[in-house]
């Protein structure tokens, strides 16, 4: 799938493979868009299949604020921050650590959606097990969270967030080392 011409290539930007584990991305899409969500003050991503607000913020900041990367992002594009709504996304190619683009957020979301849902691919209904339920009980809400979490992280228990957090320090150190080594 060709990258649209309206996407501005960020020459020299590097996103090592270690970033994805540290960021918490476990999806299968080739291209992923990143930004900072003002409401909630969170690192965010969209791969066309999922949009997540609340990704691992430390990994996002380690990547975009690294001395080799941040000067390259000094352009007329707003990736968002605590006070400013993102108007653009940083679109990364997971198969090519040196391929990065900045794109208007709406255009990037459309393109990523086309990547994830090519014509003819049926969209799954993640919450089909809720159909016909008259009342949302705490147990049903927990089941829905566990279901959504397992779709994103490949695990069956929401409580395993604690395990993911323990591993985060190691993943961030690996990311920092990979960025420093170039």
pLDDT at 65: 95
Distance of alpha carbon 36 from alpha carbon 43, whole angstroms: 5
Distance of alpha carbon 178 from alpha carbon 47, whole angstroms: 23
Q: How many domains does the chain have?
A: 1
pTM (two decimals):
0.78
Distance of alpha carbon 73 from alpha carbon 76, whole angstroms: 9
pLDDT in tens, 79-113: 999 999 999 999 999 999 999 999 999 999 999 99
In a domain, 3, yes or no: no
Mean pLDDT for the stretch of residues 143-153 = 64
For residue 135, name the pLDDT band (cuts at 50, 70, 90). Answer: low
In a domain, 2, yes or no: no
In a domain, 121, yes or no: yes
In a domain, 48, yes or no: yes
Domain carrying residue 145: 8-181
pLDDT at 154: 58
- Give the contacts of 80 (CB within 8 A, at least 6 positions apart): 35, 36, 37, 38, 86, 87
Distance of CA 78 to the CA centre of its chain: 17
Q: Residue 64 pLDDT more than 60?
A: yes
In a domain, 92, yes or no: yes
Decide which of 169 and 135 is more confident: 169
In a domain, 1, yes or no: no
Record the tokens describing residue 100, joined without a space: 């990065």
């Amino acid at each position: 799938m060709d990258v649209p011409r309206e996407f501005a290539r960020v020459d020299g930007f590097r996103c090592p493979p270690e970033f994805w584990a540290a960021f918490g991305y476990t999806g299968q899409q080739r291209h992923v868009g990143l930004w900072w969500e003002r409401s909630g003050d969170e690192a965010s991503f969209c791969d066309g299949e999922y949009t997540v607000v609340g990704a691992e913020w430390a990994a996002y900041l380690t990547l975009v604020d690294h001395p080799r990367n941040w000067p390259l992002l000094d352009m007329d594009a707003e990736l968002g921050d605590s006070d400013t709504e993102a108007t653009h996304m940083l679109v990364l190619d997971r198969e090519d650590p040196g391929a990065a683009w900045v794109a208007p957020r709406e255009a990037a979301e459309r393109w990523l959606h086309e990547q994830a849902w090519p014509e003819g691919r049926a969209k799954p209904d993640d919450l089909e097990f809720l159909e016909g339920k008259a009342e949302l009980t705490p147990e049903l809400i927990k089941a829905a969270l566990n279901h959504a979490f397992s779709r994103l992280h490949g695990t069956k228990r929401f409580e395993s967030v604690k395990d993911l957090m323990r591993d985060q320090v190691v993943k961030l150190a690996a990311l920092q080392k990979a960025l420093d080594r170039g």
